[in-house]
Amino acid sequence: TGGQEKREFQAETRQLLDLMIHSVYSNPDTFLRELISNASDALDKLRLAALTEELPGVDTSDLHIELIADGGESDSARRLTVTDNGIGMSREEVIDLIGTLAKSGTAAMREQLAAARAAAKDGELSEQASADLIGQFGIGFYSTFMVADTVTLVTRKAGEDEITLWRSSGEDTYDIATVPVAEAASLGFDGEVPMQGTAIALDLKPTGGDTDLPDYVAEHTLRRVVRTYSDFIAWPIRMAVPDNSADEAGEDSGDDESADSDVIDEGPKTKEETLNSQKALWTRPKSEVTDEEYTEFYRHVSHAWDEPAETLTISAEGTFEYQALLFIPSQPPFDLFSPDHRRGVQLYVRRVFIMDDAEALIPQYLRFVKGVVDAADLSLNVSREILQQDRQITAIRKRIVRKVLQAVNAMRENEREKFDEFWQHFGAVVKEGLIADDANREQIFKFTELESTREAGEGENPRTTLAEYVERMAEGQTEIYYITGASRAAVENSPHLEAFRARGVEVLLLTDPVDEVWVDAATDFEGKPLRSIAKGDVDLDKVGTAPDAKSEEEEKKADEDFSDLLEWLGGALEDEVKQVRLSHRLVDSPACMVGDTFDMTPQLERMYRANGM
């Protein structure tokens, strides 16, 4: 509850709105897709609440989305309203959801924006740079400001007795007012106040001039946009269109020119038409669905604006029937590494939406996969806890994991460039699977590409799989050598590498934080132990070709010669190190730090410390 207020947008939101308003995003149509997507989610939520008896008595008999096009008196008075009779929002929700970016989004947004500004000449973002930012954050609701001067949202949360109005011109502030339902008229909203759900009224920017926007109150435009972007939406998207049959009927009685003002006021007869086919894409065979349809569906489920890199379908019949439609995105979401990231697999039961982010269906390390699973035999009341233990869900999850891993592997084999992108964006996430998913570790290793000291030739893949590494192993080499660190530059300059370089022995250069952990979890590959070259004593005597090998006697003698120095150093550095010993593996550097075989690496130590562990 609360009266009428003017509030400021949060800084990041303001910047984003500024981009929306001032950059010409190449596809303004997307605003309608976003509004319809939100409306559809709101209807899903309401139906679910009614099913699970959270909201008994709520009317779900005619859930739908409606487009109300009002041509107004002039080009500048046109208004498009999108309504739904879904779950609606409370005042607090409007403030939290509409006035603010998601928490995980703000920091990412700030960084990306700063980076884009730094890269731009005199801080002015190019059209492309703004479009990229808008696309990456895919901020749904705010995209309305691409086409509207003023946006008014009026909403009533199902089961509550208040109505909230939110209005903004996309500048620094928005107005918000909340009143009891009985006083809805006092909001001064010049459209129809919804008795359930949300209405969003867009006072459209003029079509002429440099904006060159399509006319979003024209019937043909709305038909086209809905068909293109929202055809699969499960709820009817309705619009009043001219009713020609009624026109004919009108002509028959048109002779008696009655002065009955009712008829004249109503204007031309209209009828409600549903603009979308409402066909659930996952129930249709892949051959019957176009790439464009899949792309738009992907954008709806993932709340993203990019294209899917891969589209995967799974269908199972028999005792346990289900269908899955899954996507591997081409761009990473901004919250991929944030603890409150959204996972994107939705659960449906016989085409009824049950939950977002069904964690039982997809492991953490594949959290970038988006899509839906529609299972035929689950209860509509199924809870997250029950899902975790459901044997059938476990079986679906297994199949999904296998399917995704196979797809990634196939991408690597057949579409090199696409795989490179994928690995760059999601490699660090997938490698978490090497720790968590013993059963599939081998499969994941097939496409896990790592950097190494090997110098790749022109056009050759600079990264290597473990299998390829093993094939190249030096004479006498029985272990897989690696070094971990914060960056490629840091590890490349490590004195630990000297002896390996000198002997022509390849070393993996692992620089993702997750590498620290999987090398411990995996311990070996095809029977070859993974060995950190920064820990313990690595015996290189029998490996590769020694540049100027010292005999054992020579080494022994050196140890004796330097024993006084070593003792003195050991005493002087007592508080810093466990032991000082003579190294036979350094070539150019005078000294290096070595960890005990079972010590944490400095990287891991830093990681734990950063996490307060």
Binding site for Mg ion (CB under 5 A): 37-38, 140
* DSSP string covering 355-392: ESS-GGGS-GGGTT-EEEEEESSS-TT--HHHHHH-HH
Q: Does 303 bind ligand ADP (CB under 6 A)?
A: yes
CA–CA distances in Å: residue 157 to residues 93, 142, 227, 496: 9, 21, 29, 63
**H or E stretch including 532?**
strand 528-532
Binding mask 130-159 for ligand ADP (x = CB under 6 A): ---------xxx------------------
495's contact among ligand ADP, Mg ion, none, with CB below 5 to 8 A by partner kind, is none
Q: Which residue is nearest to ligand ADP (CB)?
A: 140
Q: Which does 87 bind (CB under 5 to 8 A by kind): Mg ion, ligand ADP, none?
A: ligand ADP
Nearest residue (CB) to Mg ion, 102 versus 382: 102
Query: Judged by CB under 6 A, which stretch of 84-92, 250-258, 263-271, 355-363 contacts ligand ADP?
Result: 84-92
Among ligand ADP, Mg ion, none, what does residue 39 contact (CB within 5–8 Å per kind)? ligand ADP
What are the residues whose beta carbons fall under 8 Å from the beta carbon of 220, sequence distance 6 or more?
none
**E strand map for 395-527:** 450-452, 463-464, 480-484, 508-510, 524-525
Residue 87 binds ligand ADP, judged by CB under 6 A: yes
Please check if 137 is assigned to a binding site.
yes
Task: Please indicate if the annotation marks 34 as binding a ligand.
Answer: yes
Positions in 463-482 near ligand ADP (CB under 6 A): none
Helix axes 563-572, 552-561, angle to 10 degrees: 60
The distance of closest approach from Cβ of residue 143 to Mg ion in the complex, given in angstroms and rounded to an integer, is 9
CA nearest to 77, candidates 282, 215, 272, 230: 215
Structural element, H or E, at residue 203 = strand 197-204
Quick note: the x/- pattern for ligand ADP over 177-206, rule CB under 6 A, is ---------------------x--------
Tell whether 503 is in a known binding site: no
CB atoms within 10 A of CB 308: 21
Find the shortest distance in angstroms from Cβ 283 to Mg ion.
23
**DSSP secondary structure letters along 273-306:** EE-S----GGGS-GGGS-HHHHHHHHHHHHT--S
| Nearer of residues 130 and 143 to Mg ion, judged by Cβ | 143
- The radius of gyration of the chain from alpha carbons, rounded to an integer in Å, stands at 31
In the list 36, 39, 133, 480, the residue contacting ligand ADP (rule: CB under 6 A) is 39
483 binds ligand ADP (CB under 6 A): no
Contacts of 259 (CB under 8 A, 6+ apart): none
Per CB under 6 A, the list member of 29, 34, 203, 296 interacting with ligand ADP is 34
Asked whether 405 and 443 are in contact (CB, 8 A), the reply is: yes
Q: Position 491: which residue type?
A: V
Instruction: For residue 296, state whether it binds ligand ADP (rule: CB under 6 A).
Output: no
Q: Is 297 annotated as a binding residue?
A: no
Q: Which residues bind ligand ADP (CB under 6 A)?
A: 34, 38-39, 42, 84, 86-89, 97-98, 139-141, 198, 303
